[in-house]
Structure 1
Amino acid sequence: MISLKGEDPWFCTFLYGPPHKEDKQRFWSNLSKIRNESNPCWCIIGDFNIVSNQDEKDGGAPINMSQAGCFLSFMDLSIKGGEFTWSNMRSNQEAIVERLDKIIVSNKWSLIFPKAIGILEAATISDHNPVVLLMEGLKKERKREFKFESRWLLDEECSSNVKEVWNASGSNIGQNQFVKKLKTTRVKLKKWSKIKYGKN
Protein backbone atom coordinates (compact mmCIF):
# COMPACT_ATOMS: atom_id res chain seq x y z
CA MET A 1 0.00 0.00 0.00
CA ILE A 2 1.36 3.43 -0.97
CA SER A 3 0.15 6.52 0.80
CA LEU A 4 1.39 9.85 -0.55
CA LYS A 5 0.78 13.08 1.31
CA GLY A 6 -2.64 14.51 0.53
CA GLU A 7 -3.74 11.53 -1.60
CA ASP A 8 -5.82 8.42 -1.00
CA PRO A 9 -3.76 5.25 -0.52
CA TRP A 10 -3.33 2.89 -3.46
CA PHE A 11 -1.86 -0.54 -4.03
CA CYS A 12 1.12 -1.53 -6.15
CA THR A 13 2.01 -5.16 -6.86
CA PHE A 14 5.38 -6.10 -8.36
CA LEU A 15 4.71 -9.31 -10.19
CA TYR A 16 6.62 -12.22 -11.67
CA GLY A 17 4.08 -14.41 -13.46
CA PRO A 18 4.61 -18.18 -13.46
CA PRO A 19 6.48 -19.39 -16.56
CA HIS A 20 4.85 -22.84 -16.64
CA LYS A 21 1.54 -23.34 -18.44
CA GLU A 22 -0.05 -25.44 -15.68
CA ASP A 23 0.46 -22.70 -13.05
CA LYS A 24 -0.85 -19.73 -15.02
CA GLN A 25 -4.63 -20.30 -14.64
CA ARG A 26 -4.44 -20.79 -10.85
CA PHE A 27 -2.19 -17.75 -10.47
CA TRP A 28 -4.55 -15.45 -12.39
CA SER A 29 -7.55 -16.89 -10.54
CA ASN A 30 -5.98 -15.98 -7.20
CA LEU A 31 -5.10 -12.49 -8.41
CA SER A 32 -8.69 -12.01 -9.61
CA LYS A 33 -10.01 -12.95 -6.17
CA ILE A 34 -7.85 -10.29 -4.52
CA ARG A 35 -9.28 -7.68 -6.87
CA ASN A 36 -12.90 -8.78 -6.50
CA GLU A 37 -12.69 -8.81 -2.72
CA SER A 38 -11.32 -5.30 -2.35
CA ASN A 39 -11.89 -3.52 -5.70
CA PRO A 40 -8.81 -1.44 -4.96
CA CYS A 41 -7.06 1.47 -6.57
CA TRP A 42 -4.39 -0.85 -7.95
CA CYS A 43 -1.33 -0.87 -10.20
CA ILE A 44 0.48 -4.08 -11.19
CA ILE A 45 3.99 -3.95 -12.70
CA GLY A 46 6.27 -6.74 -13.80
CA ASP A 47 7.04 -9.74 -15.96
CA PHE A 48 3.63 -11.30 -16.57
CA ASN A 49 5.09 -14.21 -18.58
CA ILE A 50 2.01 -14.07 -20.80
CA VAL A 51 0.78 -12.04 -23.78
CA SER A 52 -2.78 -10.80 -24.15
CA ASN A 53 -3.02 -10.98 -27.97
CA GLN A 54 -1.06 -12.05 -31.04
CA ASP A 55 0.16 -8.46 -31.68
CA GLU A 56 2.30 -8.80 -28.55
CA LYS A 57 4.38 -11.59 -30.10
CA ASP A 58 6.51 -11.94 -33.22
CA GLY A 59 8.04 -15.28 -34.20
CA GLY A 60 7.53 -18.80 -32.85
CA ALA A 61 4.22 -20.61 -32.45
CA PRO A 62 0.89 -18.70 -32.23
CA ILE A 63 -0.21 -17.76 -28.71
CA ASN A 64 -2.61 -19.84 -26.62
CA MET A 65 -5.77 -17.71 -26.49
CA SER A 66 -7.06 -19.52 -23.39
CA GLN A 67 -3.98 -18.34 -21.50
CA ALA A 68 -4.28 -14.84 -22.91
CA GLY A 69 -7.85 -14.78 -21.54
CA CYS A 70 -6.44 -15.03 -18.02
CA PHE A 71 -5.89 -11.26 -17.96
CA LEU A 72 -7.82 -9.25 -15.43
CA SER A 73 -10.19 -6.56 -16.63
CA PHE A 74 -7.53 -3.92 -16.04
CA MET A 75 -6.29 -1.20 -18.36
CA ASP A 76 -2.95 -1.74 -20.08
CA LEU A 77 -0.95 1.43 -19.37
CA SER A 78 0.78 2.94 -22.40
CA ILE A 79 4.51 2.14 -22.56
CA LYS A 80 6.81 4.27 -24.71
CA GLY A 81 10.05 3.02 -26.21
CA GLY A 82 9.24 -0.18 -28.10
CA GLU A 83 6.68 -2.88 -28.92
CA PHE A 84 8.36 -5.84 -27.24
CA THR A 85 10.08 -6.31 -23.89
CA TRP A 86 11.64 -9.77 -24.16
CA SER A 87 13.80 -11.52 -26.73
CA ASN A 88 15.03 -15.11 -26.97
CA MET A 89 18.34 -13.58 -28.13
CA ARG A 90 18.34 -15.50 -31.43
CA SER A 91 18.40 -14.24 -34.97
CA ASN A 92 16.68 -14.85 -38.31
CA GLN A 93 13.87 -17.47 -38.29
CA GLU A 94 14.63 -18.57 -34.72
CA ALA A 95 14.06 -15.08 -33.30
CA ILE A 96 11.09 -14.60 -30.95
CA VAL A 97 10.12 -11.33 -29.28
CA GLU A 98 7.20 -10.79 -26.90
CA ARG A 99 5.65 -8.10 -24.75
CA LEU A 100 5.82 -9.90 -21.40
CA ASP A 101 6.57 -6.91 -19.18
CA LYS A 102 3.62 -4.61 -18.58
CA ILE A 103 1.95 -2.11 -16.32
CA ILE A 104 -1.76 -2.71 -15.80
CA VAL A 105 -3.96 -0.48 -13.68
CA SER A 106 -7.51 -0.43 -12.36
CA ASN A 107 -9.93 2.17 -13.67
CA LYS A 108 -9.90 3.88 -10.27
CA TRP A 109 -6.09 4.17 -10.39
CA SER A 110 -6.10 5.62 -13.91
CA LEU A 111 -8.54 8.34 -12.85
CA ILE A 112 -6.25 9.41 -10.00
CA PHE A 113 -3.08 9.35 -12.15
CA PRO A 114 -4.24 10.32 -15.68
CA LYS A 115 -0.75 11.42 -16.83
CA ALA A 116 1.03 8.20 -15.84
CA ILE A 117 2.92 6.28 -18.52
CA GLY A 118 5.54 3.56 -18.72
CA ILE A 119 8.98 3.89 -20.28
CA LEU A 120 10.88 0.98 -21.80
CA GLU A 121 14.59 1.12 -21.01
CA ALA A 122 17.31 -0.65 -23.00
CA ALA A 123 18.12 -4.23 -22.03
CA THR A 124 21.78 -4.30 -21.00
CA ILE A 125 22.05 -7.32 -18.69
CA SER A 126 18.81 -9.32 -18.86
CA ASP A 127 16.91 -10.60 -21.90
CA HIS A 128 14.07 -8.34 -20.68
CA ASN A 129 13.81 -4.57 -21.12
CA PRO A 130 13.19 -2.82 -17.79
CA VAL A 131 9.85 -1.01 -17.55
CA VAL A 132 9.74 2.22 -15.52
CA LEU A 133 6.53 3.87 -14.26
CA LEU A 134 6.39 7.67 -14.50
CA MET A 135 3.50 8.97 -12.39
CA GLU A 136 3.47 12.45 -13.92
CA GLY A 137 4.25 11.47 -17.51
CA LEU A 138 7.26 12.61 -19.53
CA LYS A 139 8.92 15.89 -18.67
CA LYS A 140 9.16 18.29 -21.58
CA GLU A 141 12.87 19.01 -21.26
CA ARG A 142 14.93 16.73 -23.46
CA LYS A 143 18.45 15.46 -23.10
CA ARG A 144 20.90 16.78 -25.63
CA GLU A 145 20.84 14.41 -28.60
CA PHE A 146 23.97 12.61 -29.74
CA LYS A 147 24.95 13.60 -33.26
CA PHE A 148 27.66 11.87 -35.26
CA GLU A 149 29.85 14.49 -36.96
CA SER A 150 30.77 13.68 -40.58
CA ARG A 151 34.20 15.30 -40.09
CA TRP A 152 35.07 12.54 -37.60
CA LEU A 153 35.25 10.12 -40.55
CA LEU A 154 38.30 12.01 -41.83
CA ASP A 155 40.14 11.41 -38.56
CA GLU A 156 41.83 8.03 -38.03
CA GLU A 157 41.42 8.39 -34.25
CA CYS A 158 37.65 8.13 -34.67
CA SER A 159 37.95 4.75 -36.38
CA SER A 160 40.38 3.57 -33.69
CA ASN A 161 37.94 4.56 -30.92
CA VAL A 162 35.06 2.69 -32.56
CA LYS A 163 37.17 -0.43 -33.19
CA GLU A 164 38.39 -0.42 -29.60
CA VAL A 165 34.81 -0.55 -28.26
CA TRP A 166 33.50 -3.15 -30.73
CA ASN A 167 36.51 -5.45 -30.39
CA ALA A 168 36.45 -5.35 -26.59
CA SER A 169 34.31 -8.50 -26.11
CA GLY A 170 34.52 -10.39 -29.38
CA SER A 171 32.38 -10.42 -32.49
CA ASN A 172 29.48 -12.67 -31.36
CA ILE A 173 27.00 -10.29 -29.78
CA GLY A 174 23.32 -10.51 -28.92
CA GLN A 175 20.75 -7.73 -28.60
CA ASN A 176 21.85 -6.72 -25.08
CA GLN A 177 25.53 -6.50 -25.97
CA PHE A 178 24.69 -4.59 -29.15
CA VAL A 179 22.80 -1.89 -27.22
CA LYS A 180 25.57 -1.70 -24.62
CA LYS A 181 28.25 -1.30 -27.29
CA LEU A 182 26.28 1.48 -28.99
CA LYS A 183 26.04 3.36 -25.68
CA THR A 184 29.73 2.86 -24.94
CA THR A 185 30.68 4.03 -28.45
CA ARG A 186 28.56 7.16 -28.05
CA VAL A 187 30.18 8.03 -24.71
CA LYS A 188 33.70 7.39 -26.02
CA LEU A 189 33.21 9.50 -29.16
CA LYS A 190 31.68 12.39 -27.19
CA LYS A 191 34.64 12.46 -24.80
CA TRP A 192 37.16 12.13 -27.62
CA SER A 193 35.51 14.89 -29.69
CA LYS A 194 35.39 17.25 -26.72
CA ILE A 195 39.13 16.80 -26.08
CA LYS A 196 40.10 17.02 -29.75
CA TYR A 197 37.68 19.66 -31.08
CA GLY A 198 36.41 21.43 -27.96
CA LYS A 199 32.77 22.03 -27.03
CA ASN A 200 31.82 23.17 -30.52
Structure 2
Amino acid sequence: MLEKALKESTNFIDTLISFNGEEPWQCTFIYGPPNTTEKHQFWANLHLIRKETSSKWCIIGDVNIVADQSEKEGGNPINSNKAKWFLDFTDVVGMIELPIKGGKFTWSNMRSNSEAIVERLDNVLISSEWSVAFPKAIGILEAAVASDHNPIVVLLEGLQKKRKKVFKFESRWLLEEECFSKVNEAWAENSGNNAHFHLNRNLKNTRIKLQKWS
Protein backbone atom coordinates (compact mmCIF):
# COMPACT_ATOMS: atom_id res chain seq x y z
CA MET A 1 0.00 0.00 0.00
CA LEU A 2 1.04 3.61 -0.50
CA GLU A 3 2.75 4.80 2.66
CA LYS A 4 3.35 8.38 1.59
CA ALA A 5 4.13 10.63 -1.36
CA LEU A 6 7.63 12.10 -1.27
CA LYS A 7 7.87 14.44 -4.25
CA GLU A 8 5.84 15.27 -7.30
CA SER A 9 6.03 17.30 -10.48
CA THR A 10 4.36 17.42 -13.87
CA ASN A 11 6.37 14.40 -14.98
CA PHE A 12 6.71 12.20 -11.90
CA ILE A 13 5.23 11.22 -8.55
CA ASP A 14 7.74 9.78 -6.10
CA THR A 15 6.26 7.55 -3.41
CA LEU A 16 7.12 5.23 -0.55
CA ILE A 17 5.33 1.87 -0.56
CA SER A 18 5.01 -0.75 2.15
CA PHE A 19 3.03 -4.00 2.46
CA ASN A 20 1.99 -5.62 5.73
CA GLY A 21 4.38 -3.52 7.78
CA GLU A 22 7.42 -4.70 5.85
CA GLU A 23 10.38 -2.45 5.05
CA PRO A 24 9.16 0.23 2.62
CA TRP A 25 10.59 0.72 -0.85
CA GLN A 26 10.54 3.65 -3.20
CA CYS A 27 8.47 3.73 -6.38
CA THR A 28 8.50 6.60 -8.88
CA PHE A 29 5.67 6.84 -11.38
CA ILE A 30 6.76 8.77 -14.45
CA TYR A 31 5.53 10.43 -17.61
CA GLY A 32 8.48 11.36 -19.81
CA PRO A 33 7.97 14.72 -21.53
CA PRO A 34 7.48 14.49 -25.32
CA ASN A 35 9.24 17.83 -25.79
CA THR A 36 12.96 17.34 -26.44
CA THR A 37 13.94 20.51 -24.58
CA GLU A 38 12.31 19.17 -21.39
CA LYS A 39 13.80 15.68 -21.56
CA HIS A 40 17.24 16.69 -20.27
CA GLN A 41 15.77 18.16 -17.06
CA PHE A 42 13.50 15.14 -16.66
CA TRP A 43 16.42 12.70 -16.61
CA ALA A 44 18.40 15.04 -14.37
CA ASN A 45 15.53 14.96 -11.87
CA LEU A 46 15.54 11.15 -11.89
CA HIS A 47 19.30 11.16 -11.25
CA LEU A 48 18.65 13.46 -8.28
CA ILE A 49 15.93 11.17 -6.90
CA ARG A 50 18.34 8.26 -7.06
CA LYS A 51 20.86 10.11 -4.95
CA GLU A 52 18.24 10.69 -2.28
CA THR A 53 16.42 7.37 -2.47
CA SER A 54 16.71 4.16 -0.53
CA SER A 55 18.42 1.20 -2.17
CA LYS A 56 15.20 -0.53 -3.24
CA TRP A 57 13.83 1.60 -6.10
CA CYS A 58 11.32 0.95 -8.86
CA ILE A 59 10.36 3.25 -11.76
CA ILE A 60 7.09 2.64 -13.60
CA GLY A 61 5.56 4.52 -16.50
CA ASP A 62 5.87 6.18 -19.86
CA VAL A 63 9.55 6.77 -20.58
CA ASN A 64 8.56 8.37 -23.92
CA ILE A 65 11.77 7.11 -25.49
CA VAL A 66 12.35 4.09 -27.71
CA ALA A 67 15.66 2.67 -26.55
CA ASP A 68 16.28 0.32 -29.47
CA GLN A 69 15.12 0.05 -33.07
CA SER A 70 13.77 -3.44 -32.36
CA GLU A 71 11.24 -1.79 -30.03
CA LYS A 72 9.55 0.10 -32.85
CA GLU A 73 7.71 -0.85 -36.03
CA GLY A 74 6.58 1.68 -38.62
CA GLY A 75 7.31 5.38 -38.98
CA ASN A 76 10.74 6.99 -38.87
CA PRO A 77 13.85 5.38 -37.31
CA ILE A 78 14.37 6.01 -33.60
CA ASN A 79 16.29 9.04 -32.35
CA SER A 80 19.65 7.66 -31.18
CA ASN A 81 20.40 10.75 -29.06
CA LYS A 82 17.17 10.32 -27.07
CA ALA A 83 17.84 6.61 -26.73
CA LYS A 84 21.27 7.43 -25.30
CA TRP A 85 19.68 9.44 -22.47
CA PHE A 86 17.71 6.38 -21.44
CA LEU A 87 20.63 3.96 -21.79
CA ASP A 88 23.05 6.27 -19.98
CA PHE A 89 20.60 6.67 -17.10
CA THR A 90 20.10 2.92 -16.61
CA ASP A 91 23.85 2.35 -16.86
CA VAL A 92 24.97 5.11 -14.49
CA VAL A 93 22.20 4.62 -11.92
CA GLY A 94 22.34 0.84 -12.17
CA MET A 95 18.73 0.09 -13.13
CA ILE A 96 17.58 -2.99 -15.02
CA GLU A 97 14.36 -3.68 -16.91
CA LEU A 98 11.76 -5.86 -15.23
CA PRO A 99 10.58 -8.67 -17.56
CA ILE A 100 7.17 -7.89 -19.05
CA LYS A 101 4.80 -10.52 -20.38
CA GLY A 102 1.87 -9.97 -22.70
CA GLY A 103 3.38 -8.12 -25.63
CA LYS A 104 6.39 -6.33 -27.05
CA PHE A 105 4.94 -2.87 -27.69
CA THR A 106 3.13 -0.58 -25.25
CA TRP A 107 1.93 2.23 -27.52
CA SER A 108 0.14 2.46 -30.85
CA ASN A 109 -0.87 5.37 -33.06
CA MET A 110 -4.20 3.55 -33.48
CA ARG A 111 -3.84 3.37 -37.27
CA SER A 112 -3.66 0.42 -39.60
CA ASN A 113 -1.78 -0.86 -42.63
CA SER A 114 1.14 1.29 -43.84
CA GLU A 115 0.31 4.12 -41.40
CA ALA A 116 0.50 1.92 -38.30
CA ILE A 117 3.23 2.67 -35.75
CA VAL A 118 3.82 0.67 -32.58
CA GLU A 119 6.50 1.39 -30.00
CA ARG A 120 7.67 0.35 -26.57
CA LEU A 121 7.45 3.62 -24.68
CA ASP A 122 6.49 2.31 -21.25
CA ASN A 123 8.78 0.42 -18.94
CA VAL A 124 9.46 -0.83 -15.44
CA LEU A 125 12.99 -0.19 -14.18
CA ILE A 126 14.27 -1.71 -10.95
CA SER A 127 17.41 -1.51 -8.84
CA SER A 128 19.37 -4.66 -8.07
CA GLU A 129 18.32 -4.37 -4.42
CA TRP A 130 14.65 -4.25 -5.44
CA SER A 131 15.21 -7.29 -7.66
CA VAL A 132 16.68 -9.23 -4.73
CA ALA A 133 13.73 -8.25 -2.51
CA PHE A 134 11.19 -9.38 -5.14
CA PRO A 135 12.87 -12.13 -7.19
CA LYS A 136 9.57 -13.44 -8.62
CA ALA A 137 8.24 -10.06 -9.74
CA ILE A 138 7.14 -9.59 -13.34
CA GLY A 139 5.21 -7.01 -15.33
CA ILE A 140 1.99 -7.87 -17.15
CA LEU A 141 0.93 -5.87 -20.20
CA GLU A 142 -2.83 -5.34 -20.11
CA ALA A 143 -5.14 -4.44 -22.99
CA ALA A 144 -5.39 -0.76 -23.92
CA VAL A 145 -8.77 0.68 -22.96
CA ALA A 146 -9.68 4.27 -23.90
CA SER A 147 -5.98 5.00 -24.40
CA ASP A 148 -3.23 4.51 -26.96
CA HIS A 149 -1.03 3.03 -24.21
CA ASN A 150 -1.21 -0.46 -22.72
CA PRO A 151 -1.12 -0.33 -18.90
CA ILE A 152 1.51 -2.38 -17.08
CA VAL A 153 0.63 -4.21 -13.88
CA VAL A 154 3.50 -5.32 -11.62
CA LEU A 155 3.00 -8.61 -9.79
CA LEU A 156 5.47 -8.80 -6.89
CA GLU A 157 4.92 -12.54 -6.38
CA GLY A 158 4.85 -13.40 -10.08
CA LEU A 159 2.12 -15.41 -11.75
CA GLN A 160 0.45 -17.68 -9.27
CA LYS A 161 -0.14 -21.14 -10.71
CA LYS A 162 -3.59 -22.46 -10.05
CA ARG A 163 -3.36 -25.73 -8.23
CA LYS A 164 -5.48 -28.48 -9.66
CA LYS A 165 -7.99 -29.53 -7.07
CA VAL A 166 -7.52 -33.18 -6.19
CA PHE A 167 -10.72 -35.17 -6.02
CA LYS A 168 -11.21 -37.03 -2.74
CA PHE A 169 -14.13 -39.28 -2.02
CA GLU A 170 -15.64 -38.58 1.39
CA SER A 171 -16.74 -41.71 3.26
CA ARG A 172 -19.56 -39.75 4.92
CA TRP A 173 -21.19 -39.39 1.49
CA LEU A 174 -22.16 -43.06 1.76
CA LEU A 175 -24.63 -42.03 4.46
CA GLU A 176 -26.51 -39.96 1.91
CA GLU A 177 -29.00 -41.64 -0.44
CA GLU A 178 -28.44 -38.96 -3.03
CA CYS A 179 -24.81 -39.99 -3.38
CA PHE A 180 -25.83 -43.31 -4.91
CA SER A 181 -28.26 -41.65 -7.30
CA LYS A 182 -25.50 -39.29 -8.54
CA VAL A 183 -23.23 -42.26 -9.24
CA ASN A 184 -26.04 -44.04 -11.10
CA GLU A 185 -26.73 -40.92 -13.17
CA ALA A 186 -23.07 -40.63 -14.15
CA TRP A 187 -22.83 -44.21 -15.36
CA ALA A 188 -26.20 -44.16 -17.11
CA GLU A 189 -25.16 -41.22 -19.32
CA ASN A 190 -22.44 -43.24 -21.01
CA SER A 191 -23.87 -46.74 -20.96
CA GLY A 192 -22.91 -49.13 -23.74
CA ASN A 193 -21.96 -52.67 -24.64
CA ASN A 194 -18.21 -52.07 -24.27
CA ALA A 195 -17.80 -51.35 -20.55
CA HIS A 196 -14.02 -51.00 -20.84
CA PHE A 197 -14.37 -48.30 -23.50
CA HIS A 198 -16.64 -46.22 -21.29
CA LEU A 199 -14.80 -46.78 -18.00
CA ASN A 200 -12.64 -43.63 -17.99
CA ARG A 201 -15.49 -41.41 -19.15
CA ASN A 202 -17.85 -42.83 -16.54
CA LEU A 203 -15.31 -42.32 -13.76
CA LYS A 204 -14.79 -38.73 -14.87
CA ASN A 205 -18.54 -38.06 -14.93
CA THR A 206 -18.85 -39.58 -11.47
CA ARG A 207 -16.15 -37.26 -10.12
CA ILE A 208 -17.78 -34.19 -11.69
CA LYS A 209 -21.27 -35.02 -10.43
CA LEU A 210 -20.07 -35.78 -6.90
CA GLN A 211 -18.00 -32.58 -6.75
CA LYS A 212 -20.99 -30.48 -7.81
CA TRP A 213 -23.31 -32.33 -5.45
CA SER A 214 -20.97 -32.06 -2.47
Q: What's the TM-score, normalizing by structure 2? A: 0.63
Question: RMSD in angstroms over aligned alpha carbons?
Answer: 1.6
Q: Is residue 62 of structure 2 the alignment partner of residue 23 of structure 1?
A: no
Q: Is residue 140 of structure 2 the alignment partner of residue 125 of structure 1?
A: no
Distance (whole Å) between structure 1 residues aligned to residue 24 and residue 52 of structure 2: 17
Q: How many Å apart are 1:5 and its aligned residue?
A: 3.4
In terms of fraction of residues, the more strand-rich structure is: 2
Q: What's the TM-score, normalizing by structure 1? A: 0.67
Residues 154-179 of structure 1, C-alpha deviations (whole Å, 9 max, x = no match): xxxxxxxxxxxxxxxxxxxxxxxxxx
1:94 corresponding residue in structure 2: 115
Which deviates further from its counterpart, 114-123 or 44-53?
Answer: 44-53
- Relative CO higher for 1 or 2, CA cutoff 8 Å, sep ≥ 6? 1
Residues 129-183 of structure 1, C-alpha deviations (whole Å, 9 max, x = no match): 11101000001129xxxxxxxxxxxxxxxxxxxxxxxxxxxxxxxxxxxxxxxxx
Q: How many Å apart are 1:128 and its aligned residue?
A: 0.7
2:74 to 54, 59, 66: 59
2:199 corresponding residue in structure 1: none
1:50 to 24, 41, 65: 65
Q: How many Å apart are 1:6 and its aligned residue?
A: 5.4
Equivalent residue runs for 1:124-163 within 5 Å: 124-141=145-162
2:133 corresponding residue in structure 1: 112
Is contact 1:25–1:67 with CA below 8 Å preserved after alignment? Answer: no
Larger radius of gyration: 2
Distance (whole Å) between structure 1 residues aligned to residue 154 and residue 127 of structure 2: 15
The one-letter amino acid of 2:85's match is: C
Q: Which runs of 5+ in 2 are unaligned?
A: 1-15, 164-214
Identity %: 62
Q: How many Å apart are 1:55 and its aligned residue?
A: 1.3
